[in-house]
Structure 1
Amino acid sequence: MLAAQRKDHLLDLLDRDGRVVAKTVADDLGVSEDAIRRDLRELADEGKLLRVYGGALPIPAPEPPVRERTALATASKERVAREAVATIRPDSTIILDAGTTTLAMARMLPSGTGLTVITASPAVALAAAEHSDARVIMIGGELSRHSLVTGGGLAMEAIQHLAADTFFLGATGIDPERGLTTGELDDAVTKRALASRCTSTVVLASEEKIGAVARYPVVALDAVTAIITDPTDANPLIAKVKGRIGA
């Protein structure tokens, strides 16, 4: 089989099965695994698939702008936000990630509990200031027009001088095998930096996040402290995801 035919076959498998396992395809076609890896690497360079350890996955759909995400699984996000707010201890310092679930959290924060809120999201900062008496600290930097969150070198410098009790982290995808992923590279870097400055990292998982996979990895599930899911969500993947926490 010619290389071009192998590539067509690999893309057909990806479309049919949702993944390609290099060793299995090599055995089926009677070619070396190195040849299949080379084909996958070239297809990835052409932007036709996403290379992962041992094979390939489809290219994840682009993450929609934040204005569109506000309409996704709104009720589920509200339930997750309520569960998360209930875990916040008085007099603690928390970091709220950018995102629609953390925005919902900011609107539910209690007053009179001595909270300090740190965030890179102007929307989250304004909501926290409007709906609670928490001390609000903004992380400076360049504002992304796609995610409406600050990032870049200035943000990274500021993060290195922070310390907090809990980081409430939002991710585009939460998968048992791929861990936490997001659609923007800079966002993934910022999330990892924030997690490194906190005693614990808690993942917020509304119903549309479980089982989803985006392009850029954030952290593995065994690197986080806990995951808060929608109490009404019966997705069987939730048990698998939670089983990886702290593993």
Structure 2
Amino acid sequence: MARFSGKVVLISGGARGQGAAEARLLVAEGAKVVLGDLLEAEGRALAAELGSAAQFVHQDVTKEEDWARAVAAAEAMGGLHGMVNNAGIYVPRPLMQTDAELFERHMRVNQLGCFLGMQAVVPAMERAGGGSIVNISSTAGLRGSPGALAYCATKWALRGMTKAAAVDLAPRGIRVNSVHPGPIETDMVKVWTNEQRAVRLSQIPIGRIGQAEDVARVVLFLLSEESAYMTGAELAVDGGASL
């Protein structure tokens, strides 16, 4: 039997990139998925590709009502057993080029969105008998990241929020872990110049930029019963770049 047969997982930022890779692997393992995203065309196209096992929900992660609608969609599919806080933005600027608006924008999407998501799914997961939350942080949440102060700040915040939530939610049967991807081949890194890309590549011992599937496989492990004795953990998926 597939690992996730009968399970329903909500993925924020699920329309493309890492979220889409997670959705495809989950469905292949028997899960049903709710894809939350602002990207209507891409989200609906992915849901159509995945068939009856997937549903797209328009979702702004900074709005409580959008989280409530996504959770309701998951429960209508059979409950809510897992959630991936995958939505995020990356607009790299160094300290002296980061204004308050850009800093607050990162905080609202990357940090507030994660907080609202964790809070929103707890009652549904309790009704389902427990669950697993995976917060997508970054290696920028494990060490300093040059030229990306606001992004780095929010990804460090996710690391601490994960550990605090893991303690709070363990008595409720809900595990909370974080994943810290390094450079991953998605639309998010298209902002790099060729020089910046070469520098990042030179810092990766494994010698390649990661693929979305590299992250998705670790996310699936943390959502599954194979990681049943793990909570508050942080797993780097970065080819050794944070060593």
Provide TM-score, normalisation by structure 2.
0.41
Higher RCO (C-alpha under 8 Å, 6+ residues apart): 2
Provide TM-score, normalisation by structure 1.
0.40
